[in-house]
Structure 1
Amino acid sequence: MEAVIHKQIETLFNILPRWTELKDNFHEITIFQDINWIESWWHYKSKQKKITPYIVEIKQGNNTIGIVPLYCSYKKIGSFLFRILKPIGSDLSDYLFPILSKEFSHEKQLSLAFEKILEDKSSWDFIEWVDIPEHSFFDSFLNNHLLKKSSLIERNITHNCPFLNLSRDIEEVKLKFDEKFLKDIHYKIRKLNRKGEINFTKVLTEHEIEPVMNKLFKFHCQRWEEKNTPSRFRNSEERKQAIIAAKNLFKSNLLHLTYLSHNNEIIAVHFGMSDGDKLYYYIPAFDVKFGKYSVGNILVYNLILQACREGSGIFDFLRGNENYKKQWGTFNKFNVRYVFFNHSLKSWLFKSIYFTYNSKYLKLYNQKFIKNRLLAE
């Protein structure tokens, strides 16, 4: 068994298996490791800023048995240019794993990969691996095999990712919902029904994707127009990327794009994913004119019922600790974040800046100064 570092993105697309093989033969895979999802991410991210691939391939003879898909980004602080390794999929993906064959020990594969990365420390100054599910095989490996052995590694719990356990018995699932909350949804559905017909529809053909996604963009922009953080879909490149991602997921049979209509007018849209076992609640949006009818909650209600009918075992709300998610009877699970430094002078310098910037004291009293003066790019 050996590990090889590649710095051409084509290598990743040549060695990364398709979804059906990934799902059956690799550890704890989610749709965020699908080749079509990663390809759309790379196309988008590489147009945004300068990044270079850093792919660690684990081989047994001539066969690829593991992939650690990283990329290198660059941050300038003063006169220093720091090189930061991150997992491919960062920012737009909720769960980020290395891709490791079930046929071989994941501990052995990961040990080999990280030995190779550490040997190549002249190529990087800092590693930031976000959105690792807590207690997953990857978190357990990093925690037990690396964190306890080195002061150059830090672990933090980050995002809550609530989930709802499902079954084919829809009435049993409904018992998990907050009773008052469910009554209100039924009341709002009756009010809408008195004014016209409500339909819940799943997109089944590729030519439907773009017009439905355009509705999502419109609603999302309207919803966030008055907020301090306007919708990212005001940007044409963001809209283009989301449509490409949706079409790529469709190719892998992973897209779960649905909408709620009233009198044949679309009033709410959800861009999500499903792998058959889980339905992922990714980006919802609704027409603000129908806000008083809680159409966002009506959409989620129909999504959960649909997931039960499709045989999904989990409805995953993904990142975010919003209160409305609790009313569906969810359980909490968390993502963790690891940061790694090495023994080089530049890495020690970045470590000093990093911990200064992230100290609780400076977060409360002086972070704005640090951000503007020390971390200006």
Structure 2
Amino acid sequence: MTGEIIIETVIIRDINKLSELETTWRNLIRNIEHPEIFDTWEWLQIYLKHMFEKQKQLFIVVVTDDDQAVAIAPLCIATIKLKWRKVKSLQCIISGTGESNNFYLHKEYHHVKLLKLLTSAILSHQTEWDWIDLYSFHSKNPNTSLIQQSFGGQCDMFINQLSLSPFMNLNADHENKFDKSRLKAIERKERKLCREHEVHIRIHEPNFERVWDRFTTLHKQRWPQSLFTEPRFINFFLEIIPTFQLNNTAHFSYIEIDGSIASVWLTFIHKSKAYMYITATSSQFAEYGVGLILTHRLVEHYSQNGISEIDFMAGNQEYKFYWLDKVKLNYHIRIISNIKGFKLLKLYTILQMNKLKIKSLLQKQTD
């Protein structure tokens, strides 16, 4: 940007004050690089309504230029109980919905300067928090490295890889990446299934009620600890899915066999990116691999309908790599101030983030 910039930084702590930011929040999200569906105003508001824990406190840092938001750090303060003390953790508001988190920076402004403003505001209130926990910041987003750089000189940084998320770039020469022998086997099983049963495959079924009950039932049958056993998750999805269906960006796709739904995918689309969000499949037709058949059909559909990227979400399940070989790494970044009095928390963090390595080392020494 050119010309004089009049910058103001404020911290939003009240949900009512946050509602006043809707227009400027939406404008900023339309002007960030690498936008995600989790950044949208709708996702935030529905999350706050159903998932946000009452004991947490909003701590949203907003940088404005002439009353327009140019940077937002969507944070909150959570109290964590350790064995010997309570810790106030500054962390992203949205957690537990498969999200990729981020600090939102206007694409036409200098990102390092914006991050310095956010960092300065956060550190000026460090009496209110003990450490910063940034979960699910991924390697594909340049902001992840810039955030580390911005805090690095004034704080100690501890980084742990949480998971990896396979993804497919459909603008690249992706077909050469396919495991063709696997995909041919899937296609043979689909032909066999169609010969032996009455089969209907529906891609982007608009009827929410037609699929929802069966989808959640299948998910609970497959995973006893299913998120659909928790009322807050159920209420969240009962609102988030119809909300995004209004603009044709949330979809159910399914395979129906002999009149019964046997496999379902819930997917979202945002800015030409498809999210393979949640799947559920009956064990009744396991010999045919009906889940793989539906996944293959969805990948074909997105490949032919203007989607530039397919995100298979966190998890390194083998089937995801039948179509791709690219991954992004999802990190947990813990930031602790360099001021005195935090040595024990730093030691605890080192042990916490390396407990698997330490356990493995101790086992080797006892063998």
Shorter chain as normaliser: what TM range?
0.7 to 0.9
Pairwise CA distance, 1:162:
0.9
Which of 311, 329, 334 in structure 2 is aligned with 1:334?
Answer: 329
Q: What's the secondary structure of 1:335's corresponding residue?
A: strand
Relative distance call for 1:354 and 1:2 in structure 2 (3 A) is same
Find the counterpart in structure 2 of residue 156 from structure 1: 160
Q: Residue in 1 aligned with 2:213?
A: 214
The farther-off stretch of 312-321 and 96-105 is 96-105
TM-superposed CA distance for 1:273, in Å, is 0.9
TM-score when normalising by structure 2: 0.87
CA RMSD of aligned residues (A): 2.6
Structure 1 residues 211 and 81 mapped into 2: Cα distance closer, same or farther (>3 Å)? farther
Cα 1:275–1:18 change in 2 (3 A) is farther
Deviation at 1:177, TM superposition (A): 2.2
Contact 2:202–2:254 (Cα < 8 Å) also in 1: yes
Deviation at 1:156, TM superposition (A): 3.1
1:21-100 to structure 2, matched below 5 A, reads 21=27, 24-46=30-52, 48=53, 50-78=55-83, 80-100=85-105
Aligned twin of 1:126: 131
Equivalent-residue separation in structure 2 for 1:336 and 1:358 (angstroms): 11
Give the counterpart letter for 1:66 in structure 2: A
Shift of residue 175, structure 1, vs aligned partner? 4.9
Question: What's 1:200 paired with?
Answer: 202
1:284 to 264, 279, 283: 279
Structure 2 counterpart SS, 1:96: coil
Tell me how far apart the structure 2 counterparts of residues 190 and 63 of structure 1 sit (CA, whole Å).
56
SS at match of 2:20: helix
* AA matched with 1:27: E
Aligned to 2:326, what secondary structure does the other structure show? coil
Q: Is the 8 A contact 2:254 2:262 kept in 1?
A: yes
What secondary structure does 2:109 align onto?
coil
| Alignment partners' CA distance in 1, 2:132 and 2:222 | 36
**Residue 158 to residue 351, structure 1, CA distance change in 2 (3 Å):** same
Gaps of 5+ in 2: 1-6, 363-367
TM-score (norm 1): 0.85
Residues 1:14 and 1:295: Cα distance change in structure 2 (over 3 Å) = farther
**Deviation at residue 49 of structure 1 after TM alignment:** 5.2
Q: Which residue matches 1:374?
A: none
Unaligned runs of 5+ in 1: 367-377
Q: Check the 8 A contact 2:182/2:322 in 1, yes or no.
A: yes
User: Could you tell which deviates more after superposition, 266-275 or 337-346?
Assistant: 337-346
Q: Name whichever of 188-197 and 150-159 sits farther off.
A: 150-159
Contact map agreement 2:24 2:68 (CA 8 A) in 1: no
Report the Cα distance in structure 2 between the residues aligned to 1:133 and 1:327, rounded to whole angstroms. Answer: 22
Match 1:15 to one of 16, 21, 34? 21
Partner of 2:114: 109
Please tell me whether the aligned partners of residues 192 and 198 of structure 1 are also in contact (alpha carbons under 8 angstroms).
no
- Once the two structures are TM-superposed, the CA of residue 365 in structure 1 deviates from its matched residue by 8.0
Q: Out of 300, 303, 308, which is 1:308 matched to?
A: 303
1:152 is displaced (CA, Å) by 1.4
Distance in 2 (CA, whole Å) between partners of 1:197 and 1:62 is 56
Which residue of the partner structure matches residue 243 of structure 1?
Answer: 238
Tell me the matched-pair count: 355
Q: For 1:363 and 1:123, locate their aligned partners in 2 and report how far apart those are by CA, in whole Å.
A: 34
Alpha-carbon distance, 1:274 to partner: 0.6
CA distance in structure 2 between the partners assigned to 1:334 and 1:250 by the alignment: 29
Give the Cα–Cα distance (whole angstroms) in 1 for the partners of residues 171 and 260 of structure 2: 31
Q: Determine whether 1:359 maps to 2:354.
A: yes
**C-alpha distance after superposition, 1:254-306 (max 9, x if no partner):** 31322222244221111121124211111111112122211111111111111
**Counterpart check, 1:298 vs 2:286:** no
Matching of residue 321 in structure 1 with residue 316 in structure 2: yes
Would you say the 8 A contact 1:200–1:302 is kept in 2?
A: no
Distance 1:173 1:45 in 2: 37
**3-state secondary structure, aligned to 1:357:** helix
- CA separation in 1, counterparts of 2:248 and 2:103? 22
Hey, what does 1:256 align to over in structure 2? 251
Quote the Cα distance in structure 1 between the aligned partners of 2:28 and 2:189. Answer: 42
Identity score, percent: 25
Residues 1:354 and 1:211: Cα distance change in structure 2 (over 3 Å): farther
